[in-house]
A and B are shown apart, each in its own frame.
Chain A
Amino acid sequence: MAESVPAADVHAHDDHGHHEQSFASKYLFSTDHKMIAMQYMFTGMAMALIGGFFAYAFRMQLAFPGMDVPFWGQVSAAEYNALVTNHGTIMIFWVAMPVLIAAFGNYLIPLMCGCDDMVFPRLNRLSYQIFLLSAVVLIASFFVEGGAFGGAWTAYPPLSAKAEYSLTPLGSTIWVIAVALEFVAFLLGGINFVTTAMNSRAEGMGMYDIPVVIWMIVIASILFMASVGPLIAGAVMLVFDQTLGTNFFDPDRGGDPILWQHLFWFFGHPEVYVVLLPALGITADIMATFSRKKIFAYKTVLYTTFATGVLSFMVWAHHQFIAGVDPRMAHVFTITTLLISIPIAELCFVYIATLYKGSITLSTPMLWALAFLGEFLIGGVTGIFLGASGADVYFHDTYFVLAHFHYTFFPIAIIGTFAGVTYWFPKMFGRMMNETLGKIHFWGTVIPFNCIFIPLFFLGMGGQHRRIYNYENFPELAGQGMQDIRIFATVSLLVMLAFQVVFFINFIMSLRSGKKAPNNPWRANTLEWQTPSPPPHGNFGSEMPKVYRGPYEYGTPGREEDFWPQNAPS
């Protein structure tokens, strides 16, 4: 591919902008980090529509069992399992990761670090191409004989390992291969993010002058790269079990199904922080800008984040308290899990303290950022119930767990993304978004979101367990009272999905006819705002920026302006 489009590979910036690029080289095979970021973002959004549609289909089945769901039809038990499995897989691997890490990472790292592109632009392009391939492979699994994999996103063997149990001979293998390809894409991306942020910063930008969002993306990439190895090994074993008849996970032939759980969660728990950190970073930058305040205790934020990252490798077995491992192990993981609440609580305190004595403007990006904090707090505190082994005995695999992690992942993947998109939209596309539509969309998303998931906490307390396509077989769960709660949650989901139309209208209208954005519409300090909107190829024109101070010098005493760009000579 590289040979066919040499123009895209020209990376010397002395000739940028002077030659006409073909459509393919500009949009499909570009090595420009901004274009790759857009590719990741739009692919992620398209996958979010698919994942959201899946949620719609199975929530309809839960609220109105046996109904003919519009645009889907009857949801069979097998289809239900495939829908929940792939909803989870898509939302984490094909929405949260590409948008939060890959899209924002690609877009922001070179711009905020003041360099012209990623250090490995072709690797970057390859990363996206493999990612796109992985998405296509995953979707293909819905169209093969036997249907898509339905063994939950955790894919515990033996169910996932043998076709006679899962009844999806092709679907489960395709699922594992798609996930493995996605990991390859993000390994390539991660190398780029860390290298670029560490080696290609603008002159004068020290370690403590790097914006929090960049630090967070870098730490997240390191966490991902350090944790994914064991799972790739596990994925290979799983594919071998499925296709070659090996027995890594078959206890009758010397294997052990628990092995997979350790490999999976050793990756799976740091993965939560892999997507959390970029969202926290986006929030930090937005909160600083719109409260016109320095981030409270910037260094504390960094060290706390490092501590969280390290601790996140030591908590994985809290997913396995009742999995049949030696029960004494639960004590170790209860302690580590509760300890990780300390840096997270500290981050919450620091973020709230950032608002102190500021001058807060509730613009759309700021609303999203504040909502992230408010909603994530609920996800955080409900996690304590599940990290405490004695309480997890009851809550494990109930809707309480489901509601808990949606209160972490929804703020991360949806609220965090909308915060980032509305904040950087003027930079990305050179036009302002409509604030009124933005606010309608904000309230129309956040209120129904709470209406969906608060009731699910109560269903979980009522003992409703997960991944059941129809509760009528369980007399304690089949009552009308619980059914009414399910219907309420589903209707709230429909309302929330309907409000997403407002976002797309706003997005497209603003793209076509929004007010022209100035270079620095939010009067922010970081480097990406000190170049034209949208930035040209090469980002900063002929003169690369020089950095004189940290990214959050707002309200510095003795200055007329309440902001002080990083590259402004004093």
Chain B
Amino acid sequence: MTDLIANYVPSLSTYSADIDGLIILIAWLVGFWYVLCNIVFFYFIFRYRAKPGVPTSYVTGEEKELKRWITIPHLLVLVCDLFIIYGAVRVWVDVKQTLPETPYATVRVISQQWAWSFVHPGADGKLDTADDIKTVDDLHIVKDKPYIYELMARDVLHDFSVPVFRLKQDAIPGRTIKGWFQATATGVYDIQCAEICGIGHGVMAGRIHISTEEQHAAWIAENTPAAALADMPQADTPNPKALAAR
């Protein structure tokens, strides 16, 4: 049971193992109560089945020595709840309330009926410059680097879901929601829209391409818009004209 989720979906972000761990913690705790309840439940059904000549008993449930069989488990459930709350809060703070202080880059994720658009920073590492690389349905990132995403929606609610990262966040028109992720392996994985967004909801699929820094640099070089290349500053010699243009 140690890989309850990772058996099905690889765990490929820095926080995915924490989320899986929380799920496993809950599985053990509720599993214990579930099995215990069922043992008692089926034992009682069998043990106290109607038998000719055996009368039933008069038990009100108000007797002290019987009531503690409810009260004590009930307090133990509360203790289990406290563990789960602690685990949930810890994971949540890390995943949703903290942003990396020195992100490697910021990517913009724009959802609309029924496609994903991504804006990647170009060689300068900054968004909203001429060398930004815009793609549809394909997000390109570097392994082992903290990323911040800025999530937007153009029309209706969508949800940016990357199962291998255990990441899920609704996109809301009119708001920009920031979050983060850091991939721990290379590869190509699914991006899903996980909030119903109309008749094309079932085709709103993207792909996330996680590569090494070198591969990513090559991808940037290949895909930088021609216009941006034209006034790209030469290495070592800053081009004052291009800087002024910004």
**Which A residues are in CB contact (< 8 Å) with B159?**
322, 397
**B190: CB under 8 A from chain A?**
yes
Closest approach, in angstroms, between the C-beta of B65 and any C-beta of chain A?
12
- A473 with B205: in contact, given A342-B78, A359-B55, A462-B8 (CB under 8 Å)? yes
- How far does the alpha carbon of A391 sit from the alpha carbon of B21 in the complex, in Å? 9
Chain B residue with Cβ nearest A366 = B45
- How far does the alpha carbon of A258 sit from the alpha carbon of B153 in the complex, in Å? 13
**A532: CB under 8 A from chain B?**
no
Task: Name the residue among A334, A381, A556 with the largest chain B CB count within 10 angstroms.
Answer: A381
- How far does the alpha carbon of A382 sit from the alpha carbon of B89 in the complex, in Å? 18
Please state if A378 and B170 are interface contacts (CB–CB under 8 Å).
no
**B233: CB under 8 A from chain A?**
no
Chain A 333-389 interface residues, beta-carbon cutoff 8 Å to B: 334-335, 338-339, 341-342, 345-346, 348-350, 352-362, 370, 373-374, 377-378, 381-382, 384-385, 388-389
**B169: CB under 8 A from chain A?**
yes
Please state if B172 and A473 are interface contacts (CB–CB under 8 Å).
no
Please state if A462 and B9 are interface contacts (CB–CB under 8 Å).
yes
- A251 with B174: in contact, given A388-B26, A555-B58 (CB under 8 Å)? yes
- How far does the alpha carbon of A562 sit from the alpha carbon of B55 in the complex, in Å? 8
- How far does the alpha carbon of A234 sit from the alpha carbon of B59 in the complex, in Å? 48
**Which B residues are in CB contact (< 8 Å) with A166?**
198
**A476: CB under 8 A from chain B?**
yes
Task: Name the residue among B34, B157, B193 with the largest chain A CB count within 10 angstroms.
Answer: B157
Please state if A468 and B33 are interface contacts (CB–CB under 8 Å).
no
- How far does the alpha carbon of A377 sit from the alpha carbon of B31 in the complex, in Å? 11
> Count the B residues whose beta carbon is within 8 Å of the partner chain — how many?
89
**Which B residues are in CB contact (< 8 Å) with A393?**
19, 91-92, 95-96, 166-168
**B185: CB under 8 A from chain A?**
no
**A158: CB under 8 A from chain B?**
yes
**B199: CB under 8 A from chain A?**
yes
Please state if B157 and A360 are interface contacts (CB–CB under 8 Å).
no
**Which A residues are in CB contact (< 8 Å) with B31?**
381
Please state if B84 and A352 are interface contacts (CB–CB under 8 Å).
no
**A327: CB under 8 A from chain B?**
yes
**A554: CB under 8 A from chain B?**
yes
- Which of B5, B34, B78, B166 meets A378, CB within 8 Å? B34
Please state if B169 and A461 are interface contacts (CB–CB under 8 Å).
no
**B237: CB under 8 A from chain A?**
no
- How far does the alpha carbon of A390 sit from the alpha carbon of B21 in the complex, in Å? 10
Q: Pick from A19-27, A44-52, A286-294 the stretch touching chain B.
A: A286-294
**Which B residues are in CB contact (< 8 Å) with A378?**
34
**B225: CB under 8 A from chain A?**
no
Chain A residue with Cβ nearest B81 = A338
Q: Pick from B36-44, B138-146, B211-219 the stretch touching chain A.
A: B36-44
**A512: CB under 8 A from chain B?**
no
Interface range for A: 35 or more
**Which B residues are in CB contact (< 8 Å) with A158?**
155-157, 173
For B1-40 the 0/1 string (1 means CB < 8 A from A) is: 0001100110000000011101100110111011001101
- Which of A156, A339, A346, A377 meets B157, CB within 8 Å? A156
**A252: CB under 8 A from chain B?**
yes
- Which of B45, B87, B167 meets A388, CB within 8 Å? B87
- How far does the alpha carbon of A211 sit from the alpha carbon of B51 in the complex, in Å? 27
- Which of A80, A345, A385, A396 meets B33, CB within 8 Å? A345
Please state if A328 and B97 are interface contacts (CB–CB under 8 Å).
yes
For B149-181 the 0/1 string (1 means CB < 8 A from A) is: 000000111010101001111111111010000
Please state if A167 and B199 are interface contacts (CB–CB under 8 Å).
yes
- A342 with B77: in contact, given A251-B175, A355-B48, A556-B58 (CB under 8 Å)? yes
Chain B 178-231 interface residues, beta-carbon cutoff 8 Å to A: 189-190, 192-203, 205, 207
Residues of B that sit less than 8 Å from A by CB? 4-5, 8-9, 18-20, 22-23, 26-27, 29-31, 33-34, 37-38, 40-41, 44-45, 48-51, 54-62, 66-67, 69-70, 73-74, 77-78, 81, 84-85, 87-92, 95-97, 113, 155-157, 159, 161, 163, 166-175, 177, 189-190, 192-203, 205, 207
Please give me the 7 A-B residue pairs with the lowest Cβ-Cβ distance, nearest first. Answer: A251-B174, A390-B91, A297-B61, A463-B163, A296-B61, A388-B88, A292-B56
